[in-house]
Amino acid sequence: MENTEKKSWLKSWGVLILTLFLLWIFAFIVGPWGEQNIPVFSSIVEVIERDNIDSTAYMYTEIEGSYTGEKDLLGSLKLKMPEETGFNLTFISGIAACIALLCLGYKFLPMK
C-alpha cells in the first residue's frame, strides 16, 4: 500500500517536472528555432519587438494601435468626407441589420 502511494507520488511529481522541462525546451530551443525558420514569422517577431506590441493582448484597450488607428481613420474621414461620419441613415441601417439578424436567430435557432 505504502509502495503504491510512493509510486503514485513519484509519478505525479515526475510528470510535473517533465512538463516544466518540455516548456523550457520550447521557450529556449524549439520556439526560437521556429521564429527563425517559419517563413515570415521572423519578420513578425521583429515588428513585435520594434513596435513593442503586446501580442498576447485580448482587448482593444490593451493595444496602442487601436487608439492611434481610431484617431487617424476618423480624422481622415472627418477631413475628406464629414458626411460619412456619425450616426447617419446608412450607418443606423447597419446596426438595425445586426439587431434584425439576432431577432431572426432568436426565433429560428434550432432547439435540438
Partner 1 sequence: MSDNSEIVQDVGKWEWSEMWKKEDWWAIWLGFIILLAGVVIYFPQSGELKQELSQIEAKYQAEAQKTDEFKTIGWYKLNDAKSGVKAKSSKIGKWLSNFTHKPHGWSTNPLDAFYKSESKAQAQQQQAAGRYEAAKATTANQYQEALQAEKKAEAAGFENETLNEQAKAEILDWRNAKMAESKAKKKLSSAKPYNQIYSLLGLGVFFAVFFGIGMKCMGKSFKEFLGAFTFIYALTVLAWVFSYQDTMKHYGIGYAAWAIFLGMLISNTVGTPKWSKPAIQTEFYIKTGLVLLGATILFEKIITIGTAGIFVAWVVTPTVWLITYWFGQKIVKMPSKRLNATICSDMSVCGVSAAIATASACKAKKEELTLSVGLSLVFTSIMMILMPIVIHAFFPEDKVMVLGGAWMGGTIDATGAVAAAGAFLGEKALYVAATIKMIQNVLIGVMAFFVAIYFTTKVEAEETGQKIGLIEIWYRFPKFVLGFILASVVFSLFYSSFGAAQDGLGSTMIDQGVIKGMSDLFRKWFFTLSFVSIGLATNFRELKHHFKGGKPLILYVFGQTFNLTLTLIAAYVVFYIIFPDITAAI
Site for partner 1 in 56-95 (CB under 8 A): 56-63, 65-77, 79-81, 84-88, 90-91, 94-95
- The residue (of 1 and 89) whose beta carbon lies closer to partner 1 is 89
Q: Which parts of 23-52 interact with partner 1 (CB under 8 A)?
A: 23, 26-28, 31-32, 34-35, 38-41, 43-45, 47-48, 50-52
What is the distance between the terminal CA atoms of the chain, rounded to a whole angstrom? 49
C-alpha cell at 35: 521564429
Specify the residue, 3 or 58, whose C-beta has the smaller distance to partner 1.
Answer: 58
Q: How far is the CB of 107 from partner 1 (least distance, A)?
A: 10
Rounded alpha-carbon distances, angstroms, from residue 53 to 30, 56, 64: 22, 9, 8
Nearest alpha carbon to residue 82 among 71, 70, 90, 74: 74
